[in-house]
């Protein structure tokens, strides 16, 4: 064990390596955390403000920010973008299917095959 490592005044155990956690480093960490939170809050506030703002597209049609986002989600989903489909389903409260079995035959077709195999003609 390293004898030069400082020990805790509370329990006498060696302090962990790295930057010591003091009131000064705690203050610095809190400042950084608060800065990040305030920046994120300002971006969220600006985004929410623009959701209700009316924009005019190239064709002259007016749409709110929310309508523009919804339209882009629909276009992405229509183009086969799986993430856009997932977002659309989440917005309407549906959970996307975890697994899809594409090899499963239609039950009516399976019944028709069984009848034909048994010698019955439809």
Of the CA atoms within 13 Å of residue 65, those in its CB half-sphere come to 8
80-95 pLDDT per residue, tens: 888 988 888 888 888 7
- Say what the pLDDT of residue 2 is: 52
Per the model's pLDDT, the better-predicted residue between 97 and 24 turns out to be 24
Average confidence score pLDDT of the chain: 81
Distance CA 102, CA 94 (A): 20
Domain extent listing, the chain: 53-117
Give the pair of three-digit tokens for residue 107. 């039950």
DSSP three-state, residue 95: coil
């Amino acid at each position: 064990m390293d004898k030069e490592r400082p020990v805790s005044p509370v329990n006498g155990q060696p302090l962990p390596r790295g930057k010591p956690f003091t009131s000064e480093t705690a203050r610095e960490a809190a400042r950084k955390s608060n800065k990040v939170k305030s920046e994120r809050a300002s971006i969220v506030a600006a985004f929410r403000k623009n959701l209700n703002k009316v924009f005019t597209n190239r064709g002259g049609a007016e749409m709110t920010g929310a309508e523009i986002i919804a339209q882009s989600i629909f276009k992405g989903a229509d183009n086969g973008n799986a993430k856009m489909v997932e977002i659309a389903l989440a917005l309407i409260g549906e959970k996307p299917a975890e697994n899809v079995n594409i090899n499963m035959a239609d039950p009516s077709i399976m019944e028709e095959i069984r009848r034909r195999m048994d010698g019955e003609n439809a």
